[in-house]
A and B are shown apart, each in its own frame.
Chain A
Amino acid sequence: MMTLREALEILAHHRGQRIVIATMSSASVWPSLSDTPLDFIYVPSAMGQGPSLAHGLALAQPERGVIVLNGDGCMLMNLGCLVTLAEHPANVYLLIIDNGLYEVTGGQPTPGAGRIDFAALARAVGIARVYSYDNASAWRAGAAEALTGPGPVVIWLKVEGRLGQSAPKAPRPMAEQIQRLRQAITEQIPEPPS
């Protein structure tokens, strides 16, 4: 098992010039690791819709990958997004950060916590590049491979649950985040995912 912060620190080393969309618990940690215009803290959000937002962005900007940090609870609210991602492939790197809890509401267990195989779900809908890591050493060793090459990629990370967390806040207003992101997309020419 690894902590959420450990998982995201490893990601921060490998995200390159990709857009990162952070939701829920990840949104409370990611800004302390990266706060560039390509970091989009999706707060306030529509429940479970982070992957779909990322998918649209990736389809609009095919040369630029989009990483989305999604919890297991959010994932369960929108499992159909996996099917849509397989139907319309794009450079989406979906990290399912599984702590088995609704962390920001007080740590209640998510349905099926500890029993759901998110990797099998992703493979079953036709996503070929699927990775699973349940400790920091394995994730650190595998991150470069998982995050290299074209999407869609699903990465299932098992992390420790945290209790006593409050709802995340964005570091700046949504309008400013959108303006920064659009400007960065326009001005920064990315290298294509290799």
Chain B
Amino acid sequence: MFDGPSVVAALEDCGVTHVVWLPDSDIGRWEPALRTASCLQLLRVCREGEAIALAAGLHLGGKRPIVLIQCTGLFEAGDSLRNIVHDLHLPLFLVIGVRSYHAHQRGASTDSCPIFTEPILRAWQLPYVLLDDRHRAADLAAAYRQAQAKNQAFAVLLPE
């Protein structure tokens, strides 16, 4: 289970400097903790492609940003993702909420988001891990550290 304070603490412990985000109804609950964090800055953007490019600029300038978005925004942001990960080769780290994942697993949703999220990440050749309710913020931090150690772009999916 993830909550704002534990996620912020884990990110700060990793040395993350900026969270570039466009919230959804699940990760949006983290906003108070992100907004009041002492060691990282919350950057609100208008679209997810913009989030990825802004994070890339932060990377180029020596900072350690992550991008926090919903899968719907991932679908919109393909060109940015392609460019930053595969042309600029920056180790972008994304945390992506997967809308309707749990309902889809129960057969209780017709939302197409869960159907396409993982295939799209594979198509963009972006390695990822899915962290469900059994995981904790420490697992998110471990994924971040592992990706940074490999200097590799990476995504964490959070089922919603």
Pick the contact of B88: A47, A178, A186 (CB < 8 A). A178
The answer to whether B56 and A56 touch across the interface, beta carbons within 8 angstroms, is yes
The answer to whether A84 and B60 touch across the interface, beta carbons within 8 angstroms, is no
The answer to whether B54 and A52 touch across the interface, beta carbons within 8 angstroms, is yes
Knowing A57-B60, A83-B46, the reply to whether A46 touches B54 (Cβ < 8 A) is no
Query: What B residues does A132 contact at CB under 8 A?
Result: none
Interface residues of A in 31-79 (CB under 8 A from B): 44-50, 52-61, 78
Interface size on B, as a range, is: 20 to 34
Query: What A residues does B89 contact at CB under 8 A?
Result: 174-175
A182: Cβ under 8 A from any B Cβ: yes
A109: Cβ under 8 A from any B Cβ: no
Q: Mark B108-125, 1 if CB is under 8 A from A, else 0.
A: 000000000000000000
Closest 5 CB pairs of A and B: A56-B57, A60-B61, A80-B46, A49-B53, A52-B53
Binding site for B on A (CB under 8 A): 44-50, 52-61, 78, 80-81, 83-84, 87-88, 174-175, 178, 181-182, 185-186
Pick the contact of B55: A48, A56, A81, A175 (CB < 8 A). A56
Which secondary structure characterizes the binding site on chain A?
helix
In this complex, the member of B50, B59, B87 whose beta carbon has the largest number of chain A beta carbons within 10 angstroms is B50
The answer to whether A80 and B55 touch across the interface, beta carbons within 8 angstroms, is no
